[in-house]
Structure 1
Amino acid sequence: MSFVSNAVMTGFSTGIALQIITGVLKDAPGYKPEGHNKLYRLGNWLWHVGDWRLAAALTAVTTSGVWAAARAVRRLEPVALLIARVTVSVTVALPAADGELVQDIAAIPSTPPSFTAPDLTAAPDLSAAPHLLRGAVSVALVALAQAVGIAPSLPDPDGTHFDVNGDFRSQGYANLAGGLFQALPSGGSLSRTGVAVSAGARTRWAGVVSGVFLALVVLLCGSLAERIPMPVVGGLILVVGGELIRGKRHDILRVLRTSWMSAGAMVLTFVATTRLPLQQAVILGAALSLILYCAQAARQAKLVALVRADDGRWRTAEPAAALPPGEVTVLDYAGSSFFAEPPPHRGPASRPDGARGAVLILVVRALPDVPLSAMIKLLDRYARHLGDQDGRLVLCGVQPSLAHLLQRSGTADRLGDGGVVPAAPELLGGLEEAWVAARERTSRPPHHGSDMR
């Protein structure tokens, strides 16, 4: 999950918030929209406003109105959702009220779940494992992805950095223990976290406290909880989902203003979240993040010419279009190495043809610790072209890992003695040594303004 970009996570989190909304569209006005795509379902829901049940729709609207009124009072803001739920539930519980209740969907048990230990004496039956494995991985992937999306959406109020691995471990422990008590798989929930934050939660202890109170409500007031109207639940979830999307507006605008590639990845992930199963949307988002990173890294790779001034200092300049024959050129490579097959014309400097007797010093101190084979191939080909014209390529600031790869690939032998200058603690350590050796090779007196390009 660390390789999923912020743009992709913004699209995924916004899509999850939309799924929260579309999941209660039937409960709020009593009309079940058609279609599998979440955006289509939302449009179908709005288009068939005439098919909404009046009593259910009024209940949902009243719930949202009571929530907004309570939230406008500063002291009541933390309990606005609770006030809306209790007030409207009591009102619609009158005999004249019409609407679906929680008990119409399922009964709330008034007893705690029993402990069920696995039968370790019987031989394990693994025949169902292949069928369960795919679903298990999908459930785990979706739960973990939602947990990752919560932290950036609702950061800790005290500003502390969240521990993704700690969250993952906690979910794993909870599911291992819950499996012994007939529990469904648990994971992060944007809607539940949004409700907790709106109620004034400031630490993770809020989840523990709410869990304890939820257990007490189920055990002591289960029959009353069954009387909660579903339009009330739907209205509150619509409010929570809308607040989550509203909270992402700054992130969405930031991504749109960053680059068209990031914006495209965000939009595509959002659309995938509304159309595909969540586990597929997560995998697609991760793939988009990696492609986006590779494209941006390739665009940032560049060569900068280093020019030695009269005072001995090095200054940056634009690299020349071609290597000047019989002279020394110093180039500093900044960026990532090529991960794919480089094009034939691509090289450390443009057009080495005709640069007879030229020496190119390529500073590779910023090259990744483990460059890919394409970069080694490129350096070897360029060194061969320069060698055919009595020129030479010198690599300066070489890290030990790169030196090892150059030795194993045979490129170090092609560069010859002094062709690989190890990295030094100084920023441009080894460059002076390579510069002096190259000047001796060219055996030409320096000319001001033209000896270095």
Structure 2
Amino acid sequence: MIARLLPSRRDYSALPRSWRRDILAGVTVGVVALPLALAFGVSSGVGAAAGLVTAVVAGLVAAVFGGSSVQVSGPTGAMAVVLAPIVAAHGLGSIALVTVLAGVIVLLAGVTGLGRAVTFIPWPVIEGFTLGIAAIIFLQQVPAAFSTTSPPGDRTLPATWHVILHADWGAATKTLGVVAFVAAVMLLLPRIHRAIPESLAAVVGATIAVMVLGIPVATIGALPSHLPAPVLPQADAGSLRDLLGAAVAIAALAAIESLLSARVAATMAASGPYDPDRELVGQGLASVASGVFGGMPATGAIARTAVNVRSGARTRLSAIVHSLVLLGVVYLATGPVSAIPLAALAGVLMVTSFRMISRSTIRKILRSTRSDALTFVLTAAVTVCFDLIEAVQIGILVAAFFALRSVASRSSVVREQLPGPRRPGDDEIALLRLDGAMFFGVAERISNAITDADHPRTSVVIIRMSQLGMLDATGANTLAQICTELESRGITVIIKGVRAEHAALLANVGVFESLRHERHLMDSLEDAIEHARSHVTPTPTTPGSAR
């Protein structure tokens, strides 16, 4: 089990055939990742340097230890959205500790085999979450685009509205011009030449234009020219108590985003499937390492992973090269990078947020079913207005409610006619067939089926269970209560056709004990009807015999 979660020589079995393509893909992704790493670091409130460190350290560790051969990890927009309120509430000094805590939680989730849990998240919840994240990323860039900062402690939506209402249009005109230039380059350049990384070209062009024209706008500022020394964050009982909730939220987001990204990458690449548990182990170790080096939590990044796959990557070498390229920037090019305008990074993220949204996917969900459309819209709205993790939880609960309602609607209790010619007393026998799933709502249906205008008197109830597909502890306990209640009213209950997979559960919750006699549990419908008739038709019996 543990060996499966560790790196092995098999990870690089395709390297002799693909190393040239892997190196080229790694360089390409590194160029694409540079402006995004800086932008997400700034957007989170942790700083551009932390974003760059995260891309280097976490990207390298996740590449070696993760469960996907082509996944590229680093700072992402979703994580920046979560971190911003944590920085505002607990200060910048809390990020190292919360990053390490979150990494340990993700690591434990991988070791304990929780990686496959992401497959249970419904599609409308995932897409609603993605739409909400895209909207928040865009809204968080509005202050930088208007040459100001957002009010501390405010949620994203009201803070954005406050910035627009109180904008200094003299200063905002300059930064909005930079944003417009970056957006235009990113949108038009792919139509001219797809091989040129549009985000990097846009940032470089905007930086040169600002310097040549002498436009007074805020820039990234000084960056460290080397990686910081690793330092374990200081932790005491009070800090752990205050930050544990935030760490759990970050860990949940990191696990969800990384596994979804790895799953998408597996469908895009010819490098084989991914191991979800090992992916969590790799992402957990990546966040721990990032926190120790002064970075922020990392996740799998679908945009960079997609670039990696499209560039021909086949092994982990490409993601490793991506980190080495960024490491070269740290040691060789922090001077030019420090001159990048913050508004240029805001423009990159604004365009990126629009590219996260798939209009065709939204159209498909809205045209599917009303319940899925409602789940999608509700998840997106809660994500924007309240909290990301709450949005996923509420979305899953709403989807589960609709799924439960759908299953319950296909469950039925049917009163059938007894087969064969009618006999005296047959009107007192209720033959009920349970279909679909056994829910607590079935109790009322059984009661209604037993007593109606056409059957004023019932002495025996035969419950057919051979067509029952789903049964859980709640349903089994409900059936036990039904049997007990009917027997207390003097109505004999006979159960027919218990499926093998349901027998142990029914026995454990006391369904069989509630029957009047063990002979009232039968496999044959003919035997069940014949025995039921013996309870309504006088037959000779021996003293003390059980019925």
TM-score by length of 2: 0.63
1:10 aligns with 2:138: no
1:435 aligns with 2:526: yes
The residue number in structure 1 matching 2:136 is: 19
Q: Distance in 2 between matches of 1:403 and 1:71?
A: 62
The residue number in structure 1 matching 2:388 is: 278
The residue number in structure 2 matching 1:157 is: 268
Do the aligned partners of residues 226 and 306 (structure 1) sit closer, same or farther apart at CA in structure 2, a change above 3 Å counting?
farther
Q: What is the aligned counterpart of 2:187 among 44, 68, 85?
A: 68
1:411-452 deviations in Å (ceiling 9; x for gaps)? 44515334334xxxxxxxx4xx233442464379xxxxxxxx
Whether the aligned pair in 2 keeps the contact of 1:36 and 1:275 (CA below 8 Å) is no
1:177 aligns with 2:289: yes
Q: Distance in 1 between matches of 2:368 and 2:218?
A: 46
Of 201-210 and 9-18, the range deviating more from structure 2: 201-210
The residue number in structure 2 matching 1:140 is: 251
The residue number in structure 2 matching 1:259 is: 369
The amino acid of 1:434's aligned partner reads L
Q: What is the aligned counterpart of 2:410 among 300, 304, 311?
A: 300
The residue number in structure 2 matching 1:367 is: 470
> Of the two structures, which has the highest relative contact order with CA contacts closer than 8 Å and spacing of 6 or more?
2
Deviation at 1:222, TM superposition (A): 0.8
**Aligned-partner SS, 2:462:** strand
The residue number in structure 1 matching 2:278 is: 166
The residue number in structure 1 matching 2:55 is: none
Deviation at 1:177, TM superposition (A): 3.0
The residue number in structure 2 matching 1:85 is: 203
1:69-103 deviations in Å (ceiling 9; x for gaps)? 22113x52562223222233223221533322111
Do the aligned partners of residues 324 and 37 (structure 1) sit closer, same or farther apart at CA in structure 2, a change above 3 Å counting?
farther
Do the aligned partners of residues 128 and 54 (structure 1) sit closer, same or farther apart at CA in structure 2, a change above 3 Å counting?
closer
Deviation at 1:233, TM superposition (A): 1.3
Whether the aligned pair in 2 keeps the contact of 1:371 and 1:402 (CA below 8 Å) is no
The residue number in structure 2 matching 1:350 is: 449
Of 236-245 and 77-86, the range deviating more from structure 2: 77-86
Deviation at 1:304, TM superposition (A): 5.5
The residue number in structure 1 matching 2:427 is: 325
User: After superposition, where does 1:193-208 map in structure 2 within 5 Å?
Assistant: 196=307, 200=311, 205=316, 206-208=318-320
Do the aligned partners of residues 143 and 415 (structure 1) sit closer, same or farther apart at CA in structure 2, a change above 3 Å counting?
same
TM-score by length of 1: 0.74
Q: What is the aligned counterpart of 1:334 among 430, 436, 439?
A: 436
The amino acid of 2:269's aligned partner reads D
Whether the aligned pair in 2 keeps the contact of 1:71 and 1:80 (CA below 8 Å) is yes
Q: Distance in 2 between matches of 1:251 and 1:152?
A: 17
The residue number in structure 1 matching 2:102 is: none
Deviation at 1:220, TM superposition (A): 0.7
**Aligned-partner SS, 1:333:** strand
1:17-53 deviations in Å (ceiling 9; x for gaps)? 1122122222334355669444455566677788362
Q: What is the aligned counterpart of 1:397 among 498, 506, 517?
A: 498
**Aligned-partner SS, 1:335:** strand
The residue number in structure 2 matching 1:240 is: 352
Whether the aligned pair in 1 keeps the contact of 2:254 and 2:298 (CA below 8 Å) is yes
The residue number in structure 1 matching 2:520 is: 419
Do the aligned partners of residues 251 and 161 (structure 1) sit closer, same or farther apart at CA in structure 2, a change above 3 Å counting?
farther
More helix by share: 2
The amino acid of 1:333's aligned partner reads D
Q: Which runs of 5+ in 1 are unaligned?
A: 311-322, 422-429, 445-453
1:176-215 deviations in Å (ceiling 9; x for gaps)? 3334433332224466557x46974766745433222111
1:334-361 deviations in Å (ceiling 9; x for gaps)? 12533xxx48633276133635355524
The residue number in structure 1 matching 2:38 is: none
Q: Which runs of 5+ in 2 are unaligned?
A: 1-116, 537-547
The residue number in structure 2 matching 1:56 is: 175
**Aligned-partner SS, 2:143:** coil
Q: Distance in 1 between matches of 2:509 and 2:267?
A: 49
Do the aligned partners of residues 325 and 234 (structure 1) sit closer, same or farther apart at CA in structure 2, a change above 3 Å counting?
same
Q: Distance in 1 between matches of 2:517 and 2:463?
A: 14
Deviation at 1:12, TM superposition (A): 1.3
Do the aligned partners of residues 441 and 143 (structure 1) sit closer, same or farther apart at CA in structure 2, a change above 3 Å counting?
closer
1:237-266 deviations in Å (ceiling 9; x for gaps)? 111110102x2x333333323333332222
1:100 aligns with 2:222: no
The amino acid of 1:243's aligned partner reads R
**Aligned-partner SS, 1:350:** helix
Whether the aligned pair in 2 keeps the contact of 1:335 and 1:366 (CA below 8 Å) is yes
Q: Distance in 2 between matches of 1:125 and 1:88?
A: 45
1:153-178 deviations in Å (ceiling 9; x for gaps)? 77741376554433322111112333
